[in-house]
Structure 1
Amino acid sequence: MEIEGTILRGREFEPIEGRVVAEDGEITAIEEASVESDAVVIPAFVNAHTHIGDSIAKEAGGGLTLEELVAPPDGLKHRLLRKADQSELVAAMRRSLAYMQATGTATTIEFREGGVDGVDAIRAAADGLRIDPVVLGRETIDAMEAADGYGASGANDDRFGRERTATRAADKLFGIHAGEVDSSDINPALDLDPDFLVHMVHPEPLHLERLQDNEIPVVICPRSNLVTDVGLPPVDELAERTTLALGTDNVMTNSPSMFREMEFAAKLFDLSATEVLRMATVRGADIAGLNCGLIEPGREAKLLVLDGDSDNLAGARDVVRSVVRRAGSSDVERVLL
């Protein structure tokens, strides 16, 4: 397989004219050459944090607080999830996964409610699609064993020591929400030595030092944080101390579009377009231990091809900046997963 156009190569996303060559799903070469294609070829996205089960309740709960919306066990989402039958849940999640696939997302790190049944549901929803979610079970150790790891709600909900020990013994991924509403759950979350944290809106200096000392990455979800009115993470301080990835969080409150999340983050924070594109691709891949997220030999050929001559992108002077701040679903030409 060969894909021609402007290739955003490597971790710096250096734009080069030429072609990507792939065999058996793996990138084997990036060749610089003069080509006629207007395509822009970028790595497919890795959405580093989602709750796709919320697809049954898009835009429900307007005006509710974060606790009223999502706190277990009686937040609105949990009540709605309990009432939904399995077929309804699977069908709704499949629609969201199909949308993510069509807009260039190769995988998502999904915190999956509902124990083993919840893990089975998202596996069923993804069956036959090319998007391949990394599923972190919740609520029980059995769910972790059926999934790719464990996604903890937050250290104020439970201590999660047994779950962390079991996840480590299984050599699987462990992530946990922390610092979303306030700072009270950050130290207990860090004590668990997680593979990554989600949100970190309210870190204090000690927490930032611990992040740096333990090299724990953070997934930020700024659109979600604004919708739930918890504030915004101190991105400059976090970025100085650890690596950041992007997630779209609850489908209840936000579309699972990495285009929208990138544009929002790039315009809201003092981050370069290159850094934001890393956060939307290779940073999430690194967290999940995946071999995608970059265009370089030896990586999986999971690619997103944009029409650089679309009405929206034609005339762009800075290719990376236009991908991050301007591109959208209407510019997608091909998704190769």
Structure 2
Amino acid sequence: MQLEGTILRGRKFEPIQGRMVVEDGEITAIEETRTDSEKIVLPAFVNAHTHIGDSIAKEAGGGLSLDELVAPPDGLKHRLLRQASREELVDAMRRSLQFMEHSGTGAFLEFREGGVEGVEAIREALDGLAIEDVILGRETVQAMEAADGFGASGARDGEFGAERTATAEAGKLFGIHAGERDSADVNPALDLDPDFLVHMVHLEAVHLERLADEDTPIVLCPRSNLVTGVGTAPAAELLDRTTVALGTDNVMLNSPSMFREMEFAAKLYDISARDVLRMATVAGAEIAGLNAGVLEEGRDARIFVLDGDSDNLAGAEDVVRAVVRRAGVADVSDVIFDGT
């Protein structure tokens, strides 16, 4: 397979006119050459923090506080999840996953409620789809064993030491929410030596120092933080210290669109468009241990293509800035995961 157009090459997303060759699901060549194609070729998104199970409760709970919405065990989302049938849950999750796939998301990291049954349900929803999943079970060690790791709610909800030890022994990912409501749970979360932290809105100088020393990756969810009223993470300071990725968080609160998340992040944070695009692609891939998220030879061919001549994108002078701040689902002309 060959793709021609403007290729956003490498970690700097250098826009080159050229041709990309894909063989057996791998990028085998990127060649600069003259082309008349108006296509824009870029790596598929990695949505680094999702709660896809919340698809059963889209736009529920308007006006509720963060704890009223999502706090375990009796926040609104948990009550709605318990009330829904398995069939309803699977169907709702599949609809969200299909939307993600069609809009250029090649992989996602999911904090999955419901124990082992919850892990099995999302795998059922994924059947036949090309999007790559990294599922972190919750609540029990058994859920972690059935999944790709453990996703902890937060240090204020429990100690999670046993779960962290079991996850490390299994060689799997351990992620945890921290710094969402306030800074009190940040140090306890860091003490668990997590593979990554989610949110990190409320930070003190000591936390920034620890992040720099320990190089713990962060996933930011700016739209979710706005909706729940918890504040704005110090994105520029975090980027100076560690890997920072981007996630859409709860489907009940936000569409799982990385286009919307990128645009919002680019306009909210004092960071460059290239920083945002890295957060939406290769940073999440690195957290998840995926060989994707960047267009380089030897990388997995998880790619999507935008129509650079769409009414929305035609005439853009800065391609990367246009992709981050202007492009949307309607501009997607093709999605290619592993060469298919």
The offset of 1:34, in angstroms, is 0.8
Show the counterpart of 1:310. 310
Q: What code does the residue aligned with 1:36 have?
A: D
Q: Distance in 2 between matches of 1:287 and 1:134?
A: 10
Is 2:223 aligned against 1:223?
A: yes
- Using the TM superposition, give the Cα deviation of residue 304 of structure 1 relative to its aligned residue in structure 2, in angstroms: 0.8
Question: Per-residue deviation at 1:156?
Answer: 0.5
Cα shift at 1:132: 1.6
Runs of 4+ deviating beyond 6 Å:
none
Corresponding residue for 1:262? 262
Q: 2 CA distance for matches of 1:20 and 1:275?
A: 23
Deviation, structure 1 residue 239: 1.6
The match for 1:132 is 132
Give the number of aligned pairs.
337
Secondary structure in 1 aligned to 2:132? coil
With normalisation by structure 2, the TM-score equals 0.99
| Pairwise CA RMSD | 0.5
Q: Distance in 2 between matches of 1:239 and 1:34?
A: 35
Q: Distance in 2 between matches of 1:241 and 1:296?
A: 25
Matched, 1:333 2:339: no
Match of 2:295 in 1: 295
Partners of 2:236 and 2:127 lie apart in 1 by 39
1:190 is aligned to 2:190: yes
Taking the TM superposition and a 5 Å limit, the aligned residue runs for 1:1-337 are 1-337=1-337
SS in 2 for 1:177: strand
- Give distance in 1, aligned partners of 2:277 and 2:217: 16
Give, in whole Å, the separation in 2 of the partners of 1:240 and 1:40: 29
How far off its partner does 1:309 sit? 0.2
1:216 Cα shift? 0.2
Letter in 2 for 1:120: E
Q: How far did 1:236 drift?
A: 2.0
Q: Aligned partners of 1:269, 1:68: CA distance in 2, in Å?
A: 27
Can you give the 5+ residue segments of structure 1 that lack an aligned partner in the other structure?
Answer: none
Instruction: Give the whole-Å Cα distance in 2 for the aligned partners of 1:215 and 1:50.
Output: 22
Q: Partners in 2 of 1:239 and 1:276 — Cα distance? A: 10
Residue 161 of structure 1 deviates from its aligned partner by: 0.3
Instruction: Please give the secondary structure, in 2, of the residue aligned with 1:323.
Output: helix
Q: Aligned equivalents of 2:287 and 2:219: distance in 1?
A: 9
Shift of the alpha carbon at 1:133?
1.4
Question: Please, which runs of 5 or more residues in structure 2 have no aligned partner?
Answer: none
CA distance in 2, matches of 1:226, 1:83: 28
Q: Percent identity?
A: 73
Secondary structure, aligned partner of 2:95: helix
Query: Structure 1 counterpart of 2:192, which letter?
Result: L
